[in-house]
Amino acid sequence: MIELTCSQVRDASAEFALGILPAEERAAVAAHLLRCPSCRQEVEGMLAVGARLLDLVPGTEPPLGFDRRALARVHGSRAAARAGSRRRPSRLIAAIAAAAAAAALFLSIGWIAHGDHDPSEPAHLTAEFHQNGQAIGEVDAYGAHPLWVSMSVHGATTSGWVTCELTGRYGTTRLGSFELVHGGGAWSAPDPKGLDGVTGARLVDGQGRVIATAVFE
Amino acid sequence: MTDDALLAGLANGGPDVGLAFVRRFQRQVFGVALAVVGDPTLAEDVAQQTFERAWRRAGSFDASRGSVRTWLTTIAHNLAIDAIRSRKPMPLDPSDLVRLLGTAPDEPEQRSLRTEETNQLRAAIRGLPPDQARAIVMAGVYGLTAQEVAHAEGIPLGTAKTRIRSAMAKLRVALQAKAVTHD
């Protein structure tokens, strides 16, 4: 890596603070700042100016529904983080996963919480994905109109596009597809029908095969 | 509810708090993303990433170093620059620069301290030589590198670097002087 002098760092401090310095120079400046409090103070002053420049940009109303889509993305990440930190599946989940494994289904979904639900009331349900008895992800369903469904998978042995469907008394609702890359992926979408009549969920692979299923009590 | 409390709610609270947080800041976040990437679809993706990252990093937010709004728009700006970094420099519409440097507040409800601060910033930029003002807006708002500024302005790279550096130094002094005046 290039060794920079204090003079060189101060020359580059404005570009560094604005985030527009080429990668190699940026790394060299950062390395210098780690050992030079004086230059660090200089750059912090520039960073404050750079942040203020963004006040010049007028606010722009995003497309309709942005707020819910953004929140769904946050919830998807939150679900993934929770799934990643979880150690053991619940007994119910383990039982569902075992049954699914016995039926030669290599991926299963076990719902932690479900029951008769007033469709007019906001829901917040959480579900775990299991594969061969191991927790590999999670599903969140929250809201009311529409119901938002977010899911994330980490560490599955399957890759490629899968489709998520909710099944129930009124047929099957195809929510959308997401890609598992190296066994992982995250996705969210609204279900305009809500939870009314929903009795299960399933994942379908690109060839139309049901690779995971769950039936709610 | 304060901005800080809403941010804490985004990290730990229910959907209602998260929704309130997004709605409070979505115009600024989307506006910064759109200004940099110039494409509404990509801007929405960047803006969504911004809120996702805010949730991940909510614990690291330090109110003593700036407002939630500034913190969020900085995240959005960095993500937007990353999003366009591999692309060709986007053509700048001169009217955008004029709009950014204009004097009129962009929203009626912004007749507040923030508007006053923004007007100070606009005044400080208008006090710069025009070539430096253009360079700092291109680099600081649109995320153009010094090389890209040089190309857009038809000037040597060294000149572009000097304009950016000089403008930043002058703005820093001007804004510090304003802050002292108000203290």
DSSP string, A43-75: HHHHHHHHHHHGGGSPP-PPPTTHHHHHHHHHH
- Give the residue from chain B lying closest to A14, CA to CA: B165
At residue A140, the pLDDT reads 60
- Give the residue from chain A lying closest to B115, CA to CA: A55
pLDDT at A186 over 80: no
At residue A116, the pLDDT reads 38
Q: Is the CB of B163 inside 8 Å of chain A's CB atoms?
A: no
Neighbour tally for A134: CB within 10 Å: 15
Identify the residue with better confidence: A156 or B153: B153
Which 142-161 residues of chain B touch chain A by CB within 8 A?
143-146, 161
- Containing A142, the helix (H) or strand (E) segment is strand A134-143
Across A18-22, A81-85, A144-148, least confident range: A144-148
> Is B31's CB within 8 Å of A58's CB?
yes
Say what the alpha-carbon torsion angle A24, B137, A61, A189 is, to the nearest 10 degrees: -10
Q: Which residues on chain B are in Cβ contact (under 8 Å) with A19?
A: 77-78, 81, 143
- Probe site for chain B from A8, A56, A188 (most B CB atoms < 10 A): A56
Q: What totals of helices (H) and strands (E) does chain A contain, helices first?
A: 5, 9
pLDDT at A211 over 50: yes
Beta bridge partners of A191: A147
- Containing A203, the helix (H) or strand (E) segment is strand A198-205
Average pLDDT, chain A: 68
Range B161-170 average pLDDT: 95
Q: Is the CB of B162 inside 8 Å of chain A's CB atoms?
A: no
pLDDT at A1 over 80: no
> How would you classify the pairing of strands A108-111 and A198-205?
unpaired
Helix (H, G, I), strand (E, B) or coil at B104: coil
Which 46-75 residues of chain B touch chain A by CB within 8 A?
47-49, 51-52, 55-56, 66, 70, 73-74
Cα–Cα distance list, B6 to A143, B1, B58 (Å):
19, 7, 10
At residue B63, the pLDDT reads 78
Distance CA B20, CA B45 (A): 19
Q: Tally the residues of chain A.
A: 217
Report which of A78, A199, A79 is spatially closest to residue A128, judged by C-alpha positions: A79
**What's the burial of B107, exposed, middle or buried (CB within 10 Å: 0-12/13-18/19+)?**
exposed
- Give the residue from chain A lying closest to B13, CA to CA: A75
Query: Which of B22, B27, B141 is facing A60, going by the closest CB pair?
Result: B27
* CA quadruple B58, B54, B61, B79: dihedral sign: positive
Q: Which residues on chain B are in Cβ contact (under 8 Å) with A54?
A: 32, 70, 73-74, 77, 140-141
Identify the residue with better confidence: A53 or B178: A53
> Is B47's CB within 8 Å of A22's CB?
no
> How would you classify the pairing of strands A185-191 and A147-153?
antiparallel
Note the pLDDT tens digit of each residue in B36-62.
888 899 999 999 999 988 888 887 777
Tokens of A24: 């190699």
> Is A69's CB within 8 Å of B10's CB?
no
Distance CA B13, CA A83 (A): 18
Average pLDDT, chain B: 81
Distance CA A59, CA B106 (A): 8
Across A146-150, B33-37, B170-174, least confident range: A146-150
Tokens of B150: 């040089």
pLDDT at A118 over 80: no
Are A205 and A162 in contact, with CB atoms under 8 Å apart? yes
| Main-chain dihedrals φ then ψ at residue A143, nearest 5 degrees | 95, -170
Q: How far is CA A82 from the centre of its chain?
A: 11
Cα–Cα distance list, B46 to A66, A79, B33 (Å):
12, 20, 6
Q: Is the CB of A59 inside 8 Å of chain B's CB atoms?
A: yes
Helix (H, G, I), strand (E, B) or coil at A117: coil
Are A5 and A39 in contact, with CB atoms under 8 Å apart? no
Across A57-61, B108-112, B124-128, least confident range: B108-112
- Probe site for chain B from A11, A43, A55 (most B CB atoms < 10 A): A55
Query: Which of A13, A17, A66 is facing B30, going by the closest CB pair?
Result: A66
Across A41-45, A174-178, A210-214, B90-94, least confident range: B90-94
Tokens of B101: 């440097």
- Give the residue from chain B lying closest to A22, CA to CA: B145
Residue corresponding to tokens 């969140």: A140
Range A61-75 average pLDDT: 88
Tokens of A80: 């993934």
Cα–Cα distance list, A149 to A10, A165, A178, B133 (Å):
49, 11, 13, 47
